[in-house]
Structure 1
Amino acid sequence: MSETAEQTLPESTFSIEEAGAARKRIKVEVPAERIKAKIEEAYSELQRDAVLPGFRRGRAPKRLIEKRFGGDLKQTVKQQLVAEAYEQAIAKNSLEAIGEPEIDLSKVELPESGAMTFALEVEVTPEFTLPSIEKVAVKKPKLEANEERLNLAVDNLRKHFGHWHDSTEPVKETDTVVADVKVVGEDGAVVTEQPGVTLAVKAGNIAGVRFEDLGDKLKGSKINDLIKLEGTAPADHPEEKVRGKKLSIEITIKGVKHMHLPEVNQDFAQMLGFENVDGLKKDLHDRLVVQLEQETKNAMAQQIYRYLLQNTNLELPAKLSQRQMGNVLRRRALDLMQKGVPEAEIVQHIDELRISSAQQAAVDLRLFFIMSKLATGFGINVEQEEVNGRLVQLAEQYGQRPEKLARQLQQNGQMEQLYLQVRDGKVVDAVLAQAEITEVDEKTLAEEFKNLPPLANIGPNVTAVSHSNK
């Protein structure tokens, strides 16, 4: 259909209704004349290309084409009209759709005569007001690259080059345990059995249940010991049938792994490309200074996030929050990569986070909308060079070529998260530029952080970072 002919057709009409938090219901009426023109156009195109027995291409009678292809053709026209109307409704009503429209096409009928009516629902960017960002009170921790931190960096380096070996001694805090895990439900039925599970001797998750005392339970145990735990599956447990129910966990110790750490001496330093131990420690010190600068900024950023969450009244579309869970996991993995956490530990962290990803998804989604609105207000843009620069930093930390890491991030769906990480960093910088910053002792701030509610509980009525009225 030509553009001129298209413009002469009567347009579809729309009405928009609220359908919940950040959700709209769009009612559509497609005029009969428009339907008829679209069907005739589809038949003309099909008649031009159709090949039926006994007829040359483009010569088959319309009645035979209708008999042979009519049903499929009308289904196609119906889908085209729905898609066309949806796009027009979004554009004409300036809606910022953030999800796919929800509609059951099987319940939409293409009438033999008269207008076609249907309704669909779509999630949209929520409307909200940003809090004042002038003179937000932020505490800056004094982090020093002291001897204690340098020794810890040396120990971490030793662990990186350490190797595990089997041990017959009782389990120590620095060991890992290989065990068979059996999970039994309230009714005595076995929920799952997992052989050869590797457990760190610290608080952790087993079968989707968090055990803060896991490390204490494992310490001192020996091969073939049986450890029993009792817990309750969380409401968002991956296995729906056990949600909110008590579980019994049996851990049978099958092996103990102890790490042998290399000595920090001349040979160790030269293996890493340094002339001596002093050169190695100087390099670690320089890296530690950079790391602490990033940790300082992260500590202040967390206060900004907490202030924004506490002071922004923002309702989320429920279904979008569920879809956001995957993004939460990808973003957390990227954050851990940025901190230089080894890949094996990242996998462990992500498995633990998967349990609480529903709550974290809501927090991340609220922050996404808040930070997006702030970025627009500040006129912040992210150039590809900035994303590439962050990519190079990550690649250096993991000893990979940037091109290889880029492919890995693309495959894992993390490139968008890398972009958002850069953008959010620039937004935080802009807020901090007009904040009231006070330097405090790191232990004092750490103690304050311990007493604050989790970000998942932060809402308009939850106490968080104060806003200065000076």
Structure 2
Amino acid sequence: MKSTVEQLSPTRVKLNVEVPFEELSGDFERAYAALAQQIRIPGFRPGKAPAKIIEARVGREAILEQVVNDALPAKYSEALAETETNAISQPEIELGDLVHGEPLTFTAVVDVRPEITLPAYDSLSVEVDPIEVADADVEAELDNLRQRFGTLAGVDRGAQKGDFVSLDLSATVDGENVEDAATEGLSHEVGNGDLIDGLDEAITGLKSGESTTFTTTLIAGEYAGKEAEVTATVQSVKVRELPELDEDFVQMASEFDTVDELRESLRGQVADTKKYAQAGAIRDAVLDALLEAVEFPLPEAVVDDEVEATQHQLIHALGHDDEQIARFLEAQGKTREEWDAEAKETAEKSVRTQLLLDAVADAAETEVDQSELTQQIIMQAQRYGMPPQEFIQQLQNANQIGALYADVRRNKALAEVIGEVTVKDTNGDVIDTETFFGAAEADDEDGDDE
């Protein structure tokens, strides 16, 4: 087989492939064997009919077409390997004339990774907020703990922010009942805004047994994007009464004996939470610094695929109905052009990030072992509340194991870069990133802090 590469742009190539006819002999044998099992020819047992008779029955051109279709994926993969082409999109394949006995020719236009020149990582520096644990942070944690052990007591007054109400809800769109929006006895904390837009404002001030009707735009379900008339009836109003913060409560709610011991423990927990938040901020800052330091063209087809993927879920939920999509965008205060532009901007950053981190991983020869991949699978499964084996099965069914591996490799490569970047907080203090990301594989003399 002979393959050549024609560079169409920095991110797109055209493969010209020629396969000698004799290289397809094995594919012909498999095609005849499969057809012999399918075709019933008088005088021959299944699978025993000669190739010439099968050819006469089916037609030489039809068999050649089947052979080519079956062989094409493997020949395309061989061409990629032979030319060392790093394809990152589905190819656009065009077949030459199919003539029995003549070489098979085809072209494949495909997107490839652009050339990326990486900066010297130790020349980069980033700044993040310091870790500061205020007394107010500790008191907020104490209040959260007390709320977990609080009790609800009914009150004879209108609902206020922070109250807990029991609601009956119903909705109509153009006079038709929305079954998905109907519920009874729904518990809701006034002011948290996690149910229906406009609900909290509508029920504030209502007493037990009182109702109100308000207009809102539905964001999911059959009527997503449409205006609905929602009726809310308050069945009860309750306030949360918190236990006293004393030693009895501390000993009941924790392993500590005194309020001071509990406070000190919570202070440590807050510090740990802020450390994890700072680690995330460091990661984002270093990634942004890398992206700013490197310029390279993006493969448009890959960006378009990313845009389609990000928009597909919502468009599918809206039934691919342009009218419903328009209503939804109106509720969001966006035009279709603005939504498309935002989706493209997000997709471009996503693709740029993936390509850059792949280049970083390639340059560092970053590898991911089985334990690292397994750990990531377990973490993802826990996040989705699924058993790991079931999560793995879903990944396999969706052909996403490779994508997960790539994400783990990219994150590992970025962690290695972070160890070489100068990271300071806004107070000017150098942060030891090894605590979060491990030691960088760099010369020891490069690690001196000033």
Band of TM-score, shorter chain: 0.5 to 0.7
Question: Structure 1 regions of 5+ residues with no counterpart?
Answer: 1-10, 330-353, 443-469
CA positional deviation for 1:390: 6.1
Which of 294, 298, 303 is 2:280 aligned to? 298
Equivalent-residue separation in structure 2 for 1:327 and 1:411 (angstroms): 23
1:65 paired to 2:54: yes
Contact 1:177 1:253 in 2 (8 A): no
Contact 2:10 2:115 in 1 (8 A): no
1:136 paired to 2:124: yes
Equivalent-residue separation in structure 1 for 2:390 and 2:151 (angstroms): 27
Name the counterpart of 2:77. 87
Equivalent-residue separation in structure 1 for 2:231 and 2:150 (angstroms): 26
Larger radius of gyration: 2
Name the counterpart of 2:352. 366
Equivalent-residue separation in structure 1 for 2:91 and 2:151 (angstroms): 53
Equivalent-residue separation in structure 1 for 2:47 and 2:394 (angstroms): 48
User: In the TM superposition, what are the counterparts of 1:140-179 in structure 2 within 5 Å?
Assistant: 140-157=128-145, 169-170=158-159, 172=161
Name the counterpart of 1:459. none
CA positional deviation for 1:86: 0.9
Letter in 1 for 2:353: L
CA positional deviation for 1:77: 0.5
Structure with the greater relative contact order (CA < 8 A, sep ≥ 6): 1 or 2? 1
**Pair 1:387–1:73, CA change in 2 (3 A):** same
SS of 2:295's equivalent in the other structure is: coil
Equivalent-residue separation in structure 2 for 1:254 and 1:418 (angstroms): 47
Name the counterpart of 1:465. none
Name the counterpart of 2:445. none
Name the counterpart of 2:204. 220
**Pair 1:12–1:430, CA change in 2 (3 A):** closer
User: In the TM superposition, what are the counterparts of 1:103-114 in structure 2 within 5 Å?
Assistant: 103=93, 110-112=98-100, 114=102
Report the RMSD for the aligned CA atoms in angstroms: 5.2
Contact 1:328 1:357 in 2 (8 A): no
1:322 paired to 2:312: no
Letter in 1 for 2:268: D
**Pair 1:61–1:438, CA change in 2 (3 A):** closer
Equivalent-residue separation in structure 1 for 2:228 and 2:37 (angstroms): 66
Equivalent-residue separation in structure 2 for 1:29 and 1:367 (angstroms): 36
Equivalent-residue separation in structure 2 for 1:92 and 1:82 (angstroms): 15
Name the counterpart of 1:440. 426
Letter in 2 for 1:253: A
CA positional deviation for 1:286: 3.2
1:288 paired to 2:275: no
CA positional deviation for 1:220: 2.8
Letter in 1 for 2:278: T
Equivalent-residue separation in structure 2 for 1:257 and 1:95 (angstroms): 67
Which of 291, 295, 298 is 1:313 aligned to? 295
Equivalent-residue separation in structure 1 for 2:344 and 2:150 (angstroms): 36
Name the counterpart of 2:332. none
CA positional deviation for 1:380: 3.4
Equivalent-residue separation in structure 1 for 2:406 and 2:344 (angstroms): 20
Equivalent-residue separation in structure 2 for 1:13 and 1:398 (angstroms): 46
TM-score calculated relative to the size of structure 2 = 0.63
- May I ask how many residue pairs the two structures share in their alignment? 381
Letter in 2 for 1:54: G
The Cα offsets for residues 95-128 of structure 1, whole Å up to 9 and x where unpaired, read as 2223443448xx8764346444444433333333
1:97 paired to 2:83: no
Letter in 2 for 1:153: E
CA positional deviation for 1:434: 3.2
**Pair 1:373–1:267, CA change in 2 (3 A):** farther
Name the counterpart of 2:336. none
1:382 paired to 2:382: no
Equivalent-residue separation in structure 2 for 1:67 and 1:60 (angstroms): 11
**Pair 1:319–1:183, CA change in 2 (3 A):** farther
TM-score calculated relative to the size of structure 1 = 0.60
Question: Structure 2 regions of 5+ residues with no counterpart?
Answer: 315-338, 429-449
Identity %: 21
